[in-house]
Amino acid sequence: MTYRPLLIYVSPHWKFAMPDNNHSLPAAPRPADPCLMVIFGASGDLTRRKLLPALLNLRKRNFLSEHTAVIGVARTELTHDSFREYVHEQLQMFCPEFLEAGDWERLAPRLFYVSGQFDDPACFAALAELTGRLNAQFQTAGNILYYMAVAPTVVREVVRQLSEQGLTGQKNGAWRRVIVEKPFGRDLASARELNSQLLAYLDESQIYRIDHYLGKETVQNILVLRLGNGILEPIWNRRYIDHIQITVAESIGIESRGDYYEQAGALRDVVQNHMLMLLAMICMEPPNSLDARVLANERVKLLEAVVPLTGETALARTVRGQYGRGAVDGVTARAYREEKNVSPASTVETFAALELYIENWRWAGIPFFLRSGKRMPTRSTDIVIQFKQAPLRLFGEQLCEHIGPSKLILHIQPTEGITMEMSAKVPGPQLRTRPIELNFDYQQMGKSPPVTGYETLIYDAMIGDASLFHRADAVEAAWKIATPILEAWDQTPPADFPNYEAGTWGPEAADLLMEAEHRVWWNAPLPAGHAQLAEGANGQTVVTGSAVGTVENR
């Protein structure tokens, strides 16, 4: 992975400035290796909304080799031609912004299809015949990238069938790689079992455990921000940082995923994978190179340093919630227990908040607060690094009470950017201060073409760069953090579900978790015109958004 230094300076207009580099992919692209990309679950939602648009983007930006073709595999009975028609319809319906003149005509002839059951050897025999023919037709050198856009319970069987057809063996310089989607297990024991099952047929170097969050621009920029700037690197530790927050807020509910969510919940769905890996990126020790193995080693070391929460400690330092009826952006939302394929007495959490500590030299004693929830006021993923207050109260007791701590905020989605919050003097003869923001977002570098977040990850898998993928020991280290919490929750079922209204920032207990440490959550500004009423921690009704896009902490 190629990282470039992020140069920060404060301009007269209080803007962050960066080098002119629109995308994480290199400006002068090295095309990916020649290969066939085989997508299992080709008729599913992930394929049509993310994977095919990502391939289209890579194709038109010259990141795909001319010797590339795509094979879809699914249960639906389709021919090559009807699959192409289906893909075109889906792109026009869900991702029209990705289609430009000539794009489809270049992609369509490279799309092929195999139908069948994933436990049927005949399906894989047909796949073996087709891959052999297309390898020769497109001169792929025998390279194949398999993408498992299927349920985790199916992955082992698919890999076994591939192996029995000789489709996973690497010989004569050809590579075979497998991208595995989350969730990777549902606890530590099942993750270890799945790792063991896959390693019976594949080498660890062939397995690419994907986390699409790591494909986002700001996440990739974390190491550059931390280590490439002399202004930040010396203060990225417990001496200067008061605490760190990570919030993954979603305004939507579970949509049509009731069956899945009843088995998962917020902790498994988002916290165990996305959020803990973000924590590792933010807090890991500086690597001595950007080699994938070295980066993975540092992430694992960080996760293993997280102090586990067990028993009563887990209950005291975590909060779980489930949304009830409410309104999101003025639209009535039903309760989780009223969603399709959800038990009317479900105790599955749609909100989770954790207070964690890292037991190492850099972070000892510093709290890390993680929260994720469905049906919150807005969709937003943010990392907030709050710095310690200045030690000297130079400006008088009354004024100092109004000078807030400085914060560095990394905006991951929906708008990717960086904000620095600090205090400045208001012009005039009196000594008055107000908070100001130094803002950078990627739109300042010019309008970027639409992306799905999967482009970089697919490209990296095609060139054999595993820097942004998870190794088996990293997955297991994350489960070692999450599993004791899940066990504590199972032993003490919640008695107050639903305990937060749709359209609010979660249960009151999450605010109290922060208040116990004399801190408050940073809530993302709501979109302009998005006004919500919510009950504050003291029982009073407060405005959580306004027409100018501000927000007050509950």
- Catalytically active residues, by annotation: 274
Beta-carbon count within 10 A of 374 CB: 26
Q: Give the C-alpha separation, 165 to 478, whole Å.
A: 34
Q: Which residues of 171-182 are buried (b: 16+ CB within 10 A; e: fewer)?
A: eeebbbbbbbbb
- E-strand ranges in 293-415 read 318-321, 323-324, 326-328, 331-333, 351-357, 367-373, 380-387, 407-413
- Enumerate residues 6+ apart whose C-beta is below 8 A from 351: 266, 319, 320, 321, 322, 323, 371, 372, 373, 374, 500, 506, 507, 510
| Cα-to-chain-centroid distance, residue 410 | 13
Long-range contacts formed by 87-94: CB under 8 A, 24+ apart: 87/48, 87/52, 87/111, 90/48, 90/52, 91/48, 91/52, 91/53, 91/56, 94/48, 94/49
Burial level of 462, CB count in 10 A (0-12/13-18/19+)? buried
Tell me the CA distances in angstroms from 357 to 238, 302, 370, 384, 481, one per residue in order: 11, 11, 11, 16, 11
The structure tokens 């002399």 sit at 230
